[in-house]
């Protein structure tokens, strides 16, 4: 595989959300007037995606690859890693370990597909995916972490959070669903909350999937044009492009404030196949389960699987 050098309101109608699904502020000078115009004119309702956005999508956001992996190679590697996941699950059950994995990321970054490949062949009796809806009135009046505590893994269980308490760090403040003070209070509390989990024996992993701006627009457009996938789009998804910079700032502040005691792993996800393999390898490599095949797992691709603080350094460079 050839590498390229690293170069507001809480409620809105679907119609208003679609109109908000623009690329947001024009990019800095130097990226080209044509690209700036294409980003500004983006709409999921357009019958065709701008060819310029489509052309730039794969390499957007400084993605380090120019070539796509062969599907047969990907499927072979995925099958081998899924067998390792079964070994991990058996070990978790036998040793009564508890594993919690948090998946966060930009809208359309591939969280659902990655979680599906992770759990695809696992025994559903001892793995759960938690994707909570909007808090009820009763939940909104509780301690913020309370409804998540109820879903923590029991002994011998793996729990995957498809979005999590970290809504309070990124989605809620950017969309105007909470106050700046509430987010600041959350960022102050969450390391203590997670230390309690870790000290109690829960193996906690946190993954942020990141994609480039043009890739996000391409995926949102593709989903809207496909009637079988349009259900995946929420008003928050559609509003995300216009809030690109605000989401970036909130993401960076979140990682900086909450990288300990459970560190963040950031996976660059312009290529879904590479991202899925990278996430699975990263989790497997950190758990000492019986029969682990280190040669097969190898080292998670350092070009796209980054420690949270290393990712922040990359952003500032």
Alpha-carbon gap, residue 306 to 64, rounded angstroms: 12
What single-letter DSSP state applies at residue 232? Answer: G
What is the CATH classification number for the domain harbouring 42? 3.40.50.300
Alpha-carbon gap, residue 251 to 239, rounded angstroms: 16
Between 315 and 120, the more confident residue is 120
Report DSSP letters for 162-201, one per residue: ES-GGGGTTHHHHHTSS-HHHHHHHHHHHHHHHHHHHHTT
Q: What's the first-to-final CA gap in the chain, in angstroms?
A: 25
Predicted pLDDT at 14: 42
pLDDT above 70 as % of the chain:
90
Of 9-23, 209-223, 229-243, 283-297, minimum mean pLDDT range: 9-23
Element at 79 (helix H, strand E) = helix 71-95
Of 10-19, 185-194, 238-247, minimum mean pLDDT range: 10-19
Q: Is residue 1 part of a domain?
A: no
Task: With a cut of 60, say whether residue 105 has pLDDT above it.
Answer: yes
Q: Is residue 4 part of a domain?
A: no
Confidence (pTM): 0.89
Q: Is residue 28 part of a domain?
A: yes
Alpha-carbon gap, residue 27 to 8, rounded angstroms: 22
| Phi (first) and psi of residue 43, to 5 degrees | -150, 140
Alpha-carbon gap, residue 313 to 252, rounded angstroms: 10
* Total domains present in the chain: 1
Task: With a cut of 50, say whether residue 5 has pLDDT above it.
Answer: no
Question: pLDDT for 50-71, tens place per residue?
Answer: 999 999 999 999 999 999 999 9
Q: Is residue 82 part of a domain?
A: yes
Q: Is residue 7 part of a domain?
A: no
What single-letter DSSP state applies at residue 144? Answer: T
Answer whether 259's CB lies under 8 Å from 251's CB: no
Residue 101 burial by CB count (10 A; 0-12/13-18/19+): exposed, middle or buried?
A: buried
Report DSSP letters for 34-58, one per residue: HHHHHHHH--TTSSS--HHHHHHHT
**Confidence class of residue 23 from pLDDT cuts 50, 70 and 90?**
very low
Alpha-carbon gap, residue 149 to 235, rounded angstroms: 27
Between 27 and 10, the more confident residue is 27
Predicted pLDDT at 317: 74
Q: Is residue 3 part of a domain?
A: no
Question: pLDDT for 127-185, tens place per residue?
Answer: 999 999 999 999 999 999 999 999 999 999 999 999 999 999 999 999 999 999 999 99
Task: With a cut of 60, say whether residue 8 has pLDDT above it.
Answer: no
Between 19 and 297, the more confident residue is 297
Q: Is residue 34 part of a domain?
A: yes
- Residue 203's domain comprises 14-316
Q: Is residue 139 part of a domain?
A: yes
């Amino acid at each position: 595989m050839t590498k390229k050098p690293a170069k507001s309101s809480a409620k809105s109608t679907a119609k208003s959300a679609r109109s908000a699904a623009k690329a947001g502020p024009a990019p800095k000078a130097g990226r080209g007037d044509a690209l700036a115009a294409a980003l500004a004119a983006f709409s999921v309702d357009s019958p065709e995606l701008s060819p310029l956005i489509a052309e730039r999508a794969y390499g957007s956001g400084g993605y380090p690859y120019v070539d796509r992996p062969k599907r047969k190679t990907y499927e072979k590697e995925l099958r081998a890693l899924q067998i390792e996941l079964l070994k991990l699950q058996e070990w978790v059950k036998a040793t009564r370990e508890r594993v919690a994995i948090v998946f966060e990321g930009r809208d359309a970054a591939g969280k659902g597909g990655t979680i599906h490949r992770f759990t695809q062949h696992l025994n559903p009796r001892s793995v759960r995916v938690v994707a909570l809806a909007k808090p009820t009135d009763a939940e909104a009046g509780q301690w913020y972490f309370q409804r998540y505590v109820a879903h923590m893994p029991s002994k011998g269980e793996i729990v995957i959070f498809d979005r999590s308490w970290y809504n309070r760090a990124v989605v809620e403040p950017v969309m105007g669903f909470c106050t700046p003070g509430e987010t600041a209070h959350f960022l102050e509390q969450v390391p203590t909350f997670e230390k309690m989990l870790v000290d109690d024996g829960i193996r906690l992993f946190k993954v942020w999937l990141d994609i480039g701006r043009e890739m996000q627009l391409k995926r949102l457009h593709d989903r809207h044009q496909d009637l079988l996938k349009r259900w995946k789009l929420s008003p928050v998804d559609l509003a995300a492009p216009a809030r690109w910079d605000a989401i970036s700032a909130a993401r960076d502040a979140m990682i900086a404030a909450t990288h300990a005691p459970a560190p963040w792993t950031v996976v660059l996800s312009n290529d879904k196949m590479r991202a899925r393999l990278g996430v699975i390898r990263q989790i497997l490599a950190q758990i000492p389960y019986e029969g682990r095949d280190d040669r097969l797992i190898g080292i998670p691709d350092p070009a796209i699987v980054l420690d949270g603080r290393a990712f922040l350094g990359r952003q500032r460079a």
